[in-house]
Amino acid sequence: MSARTLWLLIFFVLAGCTPEQPPEPAAPEQVSYEKVALSSLPGWSEDRLQEALPALKRSCGKMRRQSDSSTVAPAEIGGTVADWRGACDALSRLSDSSGDTAVRAFLGDWFDAYAVKPGPGLFTGYYEPELNGALQPRQGFETPLLARPDDLVLVNLGDWRSGLRGERIAGRLRSGRLVPYESRAEIESGALGQAAQPLVWLDDPIDAFFLHIQGSGRIRLEDGRILRVGYDGHNGHIYYPIGRYLVESGEIDKDAISLQTIRAWLKANPAQMHGVMNRNPSYIFFRAIDGEGPIGAQGVALTAGRSLAVDRRYIPLGAPVWLDIDYPDESGKPLKRLVVAQDTGGAIKGAVRGDVFWGHGASAAEKAGPMAAEGRYFVLLPKNLDIALRQ
């Protein structure tokens, strides 16, 4: 691990703002997009592009259902849906069984590649955990997973101020004013009462905590059925990474911090577990998902190894993105592949910042948990979008 990667890991995994002093929204970074040849992308001729076809088709399908005038944010490089329609119509004519050569030809016909600068940046991973649950509370299943309360109000600040694009707050109305919602500790102590109903009861509070961080999951019920759940709102409090506290208090060495070591510490310290978890005041509410999932911020089902969470201030949702990351893929080779920007995340902030979705289950957790790697990416945009004129 390079010194820069280590610094990035410490900053993004451990750094956080105290809930008592929420930060002002950060100003967007200065970013540039430099056109490069598709054939020059690292690993361009080696990637199994056919594996990205489902993700490409889902994102294009979403765009094709929108009006031509709809903005593809950020508009400076994303343009409108009309700018993407030709490429998406052409993609729809590719069969689901099209091979790598056909997908590579399609991309070459319709897209230009742009290196996103400055770089390199930090790339992490996430996954869809599988947990055990019951539809009714009983001994051994005592941790509720709450549905979104009726009085929760979510506000996209970018709807009011262009400089706040990508920033959101949440609260409830009281006497005509929007006031802050309860913190994790208050919600865990029952402060919402009957305002929030449990979707399901889980057998492990640590699993529930990490489900809040991942944002979606699969819950195996006692009769063997799978209940898929996904994000349906948050309480508006600033996310605080508890790894920061565990490092600063000397519980875990900063070079060893990861999802796995944090989980192990919580399990080994049950008396302190809830107090440490409640240092993160952010709380997520969930909904049941029918059909494929998990569902990303673009509103489409994510594809294991081919979906990426990005900062939508810099990368349009639905855009193909080429990764070049110093991290082993499923076969142990450096991660150089095509993915699609289909999700966002509270900690995914920056011009070159990505979160790779690895799928569900133990193997996905093994890939996602320790991932904190240096890398770069290239965004692919329709050729008719000459973004040199927009910068």
- The pLDDT of residue 219: 95
- The pLDDT of residue 298: 95
Q: How far apart are CA 218 and CA 144, in angstroms?
A: 15
User: In terms of domains, do 79 and 152 share one?
Assistant: no
User: In terms of domains, do 275 and 303 share one?
Assistant: no
In 3-state terms, what secondary structure has residue 147?
strand
In 3-state terms, what secondary structure has residue 227?
strand
- Judged against a pLDDT cut of 80, whether residue 121 lies above it is answered with yes
Most confident segment among 60-69, 212-221, 346-355: 60-69
- The pLDDT of residue 112: 96
Q: What confidence tier does 28 reach under pLDDT thresholds 50, 70, 90?
A: low
280-306 average pLDDT score: 92
Q: What confidence tier does 137 reach under pLDDT thresholds 50, 70, 90?
A: very high
16 token code pair: 């956080």
Q: Bigger pLDDT: 360 or 200?
A: 200
User: In terms of domains, do 152 and 249 share one?
Assistant: yes
User: In terms of domains, do 94 and 137 share one?
Assistant: no
User: In terms of domains, do 307 and 343 share one?
Assistant: yes
Of 240, 255, 289, the last residue of a domain is 289
User: In terms of domains, do 81 and 174 share one?
Assistant: no
User: In terms of domains, do 196 and 259 share one?
Assistant: yes
Q: How far apart are CA 107 and CA 113, in angstroms?
A: 10
Q: Supply the mean pLDDT for the chain.
A: 89
- The pLDDT of residue 11: 38
pTM (2 d.p.)? 0.77
User: In terms of domains, do 63 and 28 share one?
Assistant: yes
- The pLDDT of residue 161: 80
User: In terms of domains, do 72 and 136 share one?
Assistant: no
**CATH number, position 195:** 2.40.240.50
User: In terms of domains, do 272 and 171 share one?
Assistant: yes
User: In terms of domains, do 58 and 195 share one?
Assistant: no
Cβ atoms of residues 358 and 368 within 8 Å: yes
268-292 average pLDDT score: 94
pLDDT tens for residues 332-378? 999 999 999 999 987 799 999 999 999 988 889 889 988 999 999 99
- The pLDDT of residue 46: 96
CA 243 vs. chain centroid, Å, equals 19
201-229 average pLDDT score: 93
Q: How far apart are CA 384 and CA 110, in angstroms?
A: 8
- The pLDDT of residue 7: 36
**CATH number, position 301:** 2.40.40.10
Tell me the angle at which helices 100-110 and 81-92 cross, rounded to the nearest 10 degrees. 150
Dihedral sign, Cα of residue 102, residue 105, residue 106, residue 111 = positive
- The pLDDT of residue 386: 72
- Judged against a pLDDT cut of 70, whether residue 21 lies above it is answered with no
| Amino acid letter, 198 | P
For the ranges 209-218, 253-262, 380-389, which has the lowest average pLDDT? 380-389
- The pLDDT of residue 292: 84
- The pLDDT of residue 391: 53
Q: Bigger pLDDT: 255 or 249?
A: 249
Q: Bigger pLDDT: 290 or 18?
A: 290
Alpha helices in the chain (DSSP H): 3-9, 53-64, 75-78, 81-92, 100-110, 184-188, 205-214, 242-248, 259-268, 270-277, 362-368
Q: How far apart are CA 328 and CA 335, in angstroms?
A: 6
- The pLDDT of residue 29: 78
By residue range, what is the domain housing residue 110?
A: 3-125+296-389
73-94 average pLDDT score: 95
Q: How many domains does the chain have?
A: 2
- The pLDDT of residue 388: 56
190-216 average pLDDT score: 93
Of 289, 321, 345, the last residue of a domain is 289
User: In terms of domains, do 95 and 22 share one?
Assistant: yes
139-161 average pLDDT score: 91
Of 272, 289, 306, the last residue of a domain is 289
- Judged against a pLDDT cut of 50, whether residue 2 lies above it is answered with no
Provide, rounded to the nearest whole percent, the portion of the chain with pLDDT above 90.
Answer: 72
Kindly give, in sequence order, each residue whose CB lies less than 8 Å from that of residue 77, ignoring residues fewer than 6 positions away: 33, 114, 316, 379, 381, 385, 387, 390
Enclosing H/E stretch for 376? strand 372-382
